[in-house]
Structure 1
Amino acid sequence: MRERMRKPKAIIVGGSIAGISCAKALILAGWDVVVIEKTRGPPTGNPTGAGIALHPLSQKIVKSWLHQPDLLHNITLPLTIDQNRAVDREKNICRVLARDENFNYLQAHWTDLHSLIYNTLPPEIFFWGHLYLTFCISHDKSTVNVKAKNLKTDEVIDIAGDLLVAADGSRSSVRQTFLPDSKLRYTGYCAWRGVFDFSENENSETIQGVRKAYPTLGNGVHMDLASGTYTVLDELMYKRLNWIWFISQPEPQPKGDSATMKVSSDMIKKMHQEAEKIWVPEFARVIKETKEPFLNLIYDCDPLTQLYWDNVVLIGDAAHPITPHCARSTNMAIADAAVLGKCLERWGPENLHSALEEHQSVRLPVTTKQVLHSRRVGQIKLGLPTPDREPFDPNTASPEDCEILKQRSLPFFDDVPSILE
């Protein structure tokens, strides 16, 4: 009787937004959880990070996790406009290509969203500063045992549970165990990224200029396309601007497994010079005055054919590495976590296989199409070849050609899984 009353236990590898979202969803489903994360503690302050555009479904899910749902609005700004335009500096022309005025997203900084969800969780479930090493499943497939190393003491610990959730990112070590031949695919381009903090001088010439050049900044996401390149600009809470600049180039060779490259002052200087040539002066000035811009290599992965094996399931970027063009990575991770929690709650721990099968049947068709669509949007916006069309030219594109630029063109854009309704 005591054994039947025992709560099921999940071991989550990865303490990013995917991992903590999963922890929240599984706790609400009646599970005990532990989270293994190699960083030494939760993010604090305002480290280098990125803006996150939250889809209405993600907003609904996150609000359901909060004691005070309005807290989400305290860290976000509304994104009601999704705009793409062509920029031609030589001719001094800016032309709207596609515009959606019913976008209904919220914009958050990665750190703020992570902290919001993290603060709803019991701190004792986290094994900070622990590196996941390996796992094994019991012969009767009833339990899973995970080994992790304390990076401070080098002590190796064993954690036993009923389920292993891999939320360890696009270079997932857990995924590699099952799919050793599954490789990340370099897309052919990188992205300069930065967060411009203007909290100490919100009336500067730079801010006045960029607000004049982008009148709906503060409630819209703005994408400017030039030949073979494009940028994203939007505003964050606490007087910050988030920007991204995609540039086609051969694959660099960063050290280690990180997709973020260490950049030199010469690289930054050259990037500033190129920005002044291509983009409107007001945006180029924002780029130039941003402290510590960084360079991301952009990868995705061909869609997987399954998301779970026995007692192990993949979620977030571990399950579906995706390019950032449709603002899906975090939104997919939150939906993965919510669906997994509901499936586990519905089926109970004694029917774990059925729960994981339902989770896969709900999520796999959606994530497969979204990964491939985001890949295609990136190819189009960067003027790269696609099998069925000529390279996209923003200066000559027809209105019909530009419809795919809208984020609303994403498959399952408004889909709400029935298990979450």
Structure 2
Amino acid sequence: MMRRSENKKKQLNSKAVVVGGSIAGLACAHALLSTGWQVVVVEKSTGPTTGSPTGAGLGLDPLSCNIINAWLADSAPLFNTTLPLTIDQNQVTDIDKKSSCTLTRDEKFNFRAANWADLHGLLLESLPTEIFLWGHQFLSFCISDDKNTVTLKAKILQTGQVIDIVGDLLVAADGCLSSIRQTFLPNHKLRYAGYCAWRGVLDFSGNGDSETIRGIRSVYQDLGKCLYFDLGPQTHCVFYELLNKRMNWIWYINQPEPEIKGNSITLKVSKETIAQMQEEAERIWVPELVALIKATKEPFVNVIYDSDPLEQIVWNNAVLVGDAAHPSTPHCLRSTNMSILDAAVLGKCLEKWGSENLQSALAEYQSARLPVVANQVLHSRRVGRIKQGLSLSDRHPFDPKSATAEDCFEIQQKNVPFFSSIPDILLSK
């Protein structure tokens, strides 16, 4: 096998077409460019996005932070745009007394809290602008008979023109509703988790001494370094602080599956629906958390889906990454971390094998990632059902008011499968 430096030179003429300009797509662009591949990112948004107006929070594990820092060649940018999450705490709220007590507390948690738009912007600004095809809607693709090239058709939204984009590798980073995955697996369906999530980010910049902020800090004194999970009867809420004086919160509610319109799992909601949600919050949560929820402008609803693990994520010279490969519920903070690790492992496999051994590289990527993501998706599904008090085949529905230490074991982040594992290929030189 060629040495890696020789492989990198040989890959200078190899071209990957990445469909999707979200965090998974940008991560793949970083990973592939670092190995010497040419990269084109096809994204239907008409320009660089800063995320939704309300934003969304996420947690980065230590390995993801190290990978991003290596891509940026500097740890300062990520450090300066995130906050530490050194504590993972699960607690129960008494619906009658409106008070909370701790179920589990891990003070050796080592994540970083980020805003989605901040992380996306950080990855984006460090990539060459010329690799992006903004305002290009992916339509279809075909793989050549000799399996050596792939041709995409994309519509330029501004003009309506349809163009062909030819590459050696197709990277599907087009999200949990992936149309590329649907091409290979037309009968594969997402699985509704049984609940939806209200979520929002409260921006309290310039108003840090408000009654709402003083109240929430008085009750949740470790905000700024703690990932809080508050469990109620058949429901739970997660919240933590983000950089630049923002509070991120998510509240999960059991309900029948809503109707999804279009290609989005995010629902727009009316003022009346928001008012009903706030009224229900008053029934369940402590007043200080209710005040945080009420103060948040434009909260929105995510319908929660995941997917039974796929048996393959590679077809010839096409590969799935991120949520296209493993849609997951959000309870174990795995979605973004799995996407970043997908990209890193894919890049290292391509670097190891060289473009002339693309099939071997993709086979190693698949064998390295499938067991990990399958276990993490199923574990996150299980944790979600436990915290929502839903049925499981091997245990009674979880009651946080009477839960034992054994009952609470699985809901801690540190018990996620492969929680601190580093893939062998990332350790090799």
Length-normalised TM-score, structure 1:
0.98
Quote the offset at 1:331 in angstroms.
0.2
Q: Where in structure 2 are the equivalents of 1:33-182 lying within 5 Å?
A: 33-44=39-50, 47-182=53-188
Q: Where in structure 2 are the equivalents of 1:257-272 lying within 5 Å?
A: 257-272=263-278
The CA distance in 2 between the partners of 1:283 and 1:367, in whole Å, is 33
The CA distance in 1 between the partners of 2:188 and 2:325, in whole Å, is 11
Match of 2:286 in 1: 280
The CA distance in 2 between the partners of 1:156 and 1:145, in whole Å, is 12
1:195 aligns with 2:195: no
Quote the offset at 1:48 in angstroms.
2.6
1:408 aligns with 2:414: yes
Which range moves more in the overlay, 248-257 or 181-190? 248-257
1:24 aligns with 2:30: yes
Q: Tell me, yes or no, if the aligned pair for 2:242 and 2:248 is still in contact at 8 Å.
A: yes
The CA distance in 2 between the partners of 1:45 and 1:403, in whole Å, is 35
1:225 aligns with 2:225: no
The CA distance in 2 between the partners of 1:224 and 1:97, in whole Å, is 10
Identity of aligned residues (%): 60
Instruction: Give the gaps of 5 or more residues in structure 2.
Output: 1-8
Match of 2:240 in 1: 234
SS at match of 1:325: coil
Deviation string for 1:281-309 (max 9, x for gaps)? 00100000100000000000000001100
Q: Which one of 313, 316, 319 corresponds to residue 322 of structure 2?
A: 316
Deviation string for 1:173-221 (max 9, x for gaps)? 0000110011001111000000000002111011001000000000011
Quote the offset at 1:91 in angstroms.
3.0
Q: Tell me, yes or no, if the aligned pair for 2:11 and 2:36 is still in contact at 8 Å.
A: no
Quote the offset at 1:94 in angstroms.
1.5
Q: Where in structure 2 are the equivalents of 1:298-317 lying within 5 Å?
A: 298-317=304-323
Quote the offset at 1:245 in angstroms.
0.1
The CA distance in 2 between the partners of 1:231 and 1:361, in whole Å, is 35
Size of the aligned set, in residue pairs, is 419
Quote the offset at 1:69 in angstroms.
1.6
Quote the offset at 1:43 in angstroms.
1.6
SS at match of 2:13: coil
Match of 1:366 in 2: 372
SS at match of 1:250: coil
Q: Tell me, yes or no, if the aligned pair for 2:98 and 2:284 is still in contact at 8 Å.
A: no
The CA distance in 2 between the partners of 1:415 and 1:223, in whole Å, is 24
Code of the aligned partner of 1:382: Q
Quote the offset at 1:45 in angstroms.
7.7
Q: Tell me, yes or no, if the aligned pair for 2:40 and 2:131 is still in contact at 8 Å.
A: yes
Code of the aligned partner of 2:13: K
Q: Tell me, yes or no, if the aligned pair for 2:12 and 2:38 is still in contact at 8 Å.
A: no
Instruction: Give the gaps of 5 or more residues in structure 1.
Output: none
SS at match of 1:326: coil
Which range moves more in the overlay, 78-87 or 35-44? 35-44
Match of 2:252 in 1: 246
Q: Tell me, yes or no, if the aligned pair for 1:11 and 1:34 is still in contact at 8 Å.
A: yes
The CA distance in 2 between the partners of 1:44 and 1:397, in whole Å, is 41
SS at match of 2:241: strand
SS at match of 2:139: strand
Quote the offset at 1:7 in angstroms.
1.3
Quote the offset at 1:381 in angstroms.
0.2
Quote the offset at 1:46 in angstroms.
6.8
Deviation string for 1:54-79 (max 9, x for gaps)? 00100000000113321101000000
1:207 aligns with 2:213: yes
For residues 316 and 269 of structure 1, do their structure 2 counterparts lie closer, same or farther at Cα, with a shift above 3 Å needed? same
Quote the offset at 1:95 in angstroms.
1.7
The CA distance in 1 between the partners of 2:12 and 2:256, in whole Å, is 53
Q: Tell me, yes or no, if the aligned pair for 2:99 and 2:286 is still in contact at 8 Å.
A: no
Q: Tell me, yes or no, if the aligned pair for 1:254 and 1:262 is still in contact at 8 Å.
A: no
For residues 345 and 208 of structure 1, do their structure 2 counterparts lie closer, same or farther at Cα, with a shift above 3 Å needed? same
Length-normalised TM-score, structure 2:
0.96
For residues 121 and 392 of structure 1, do their structure 2 counterparts lie closer, same or farther at Cα, with a shift above 3 Å needed? same
Q: Tell me, yes or no, if the aligned pair for 2:389 and 2:397 is still in contact at 8 Å.
A: yes
The CA distance in 2 between the partners of 1:125 and 1:17, in whole Å, is 15
Give runs of ≥4 in structure 1 deviating > 3 Å: 3-6
Quote the offset at 1:4 in angstroms.
6.6
Match of 1:331 in 2: 337
The CA distance in 1 between the partners of 2:52 and 2:375, in whole Å, is 34
Quote the offset at 1:5 in angstroms.
7.7
The CA distance in 1 between the partners of 2:215 and 2:88, in whole Å, is 21
Q: Tell me, yes or no, if the aligned pair for 1:10 and 1:163 is still in contact at 8 Å.
A: yes
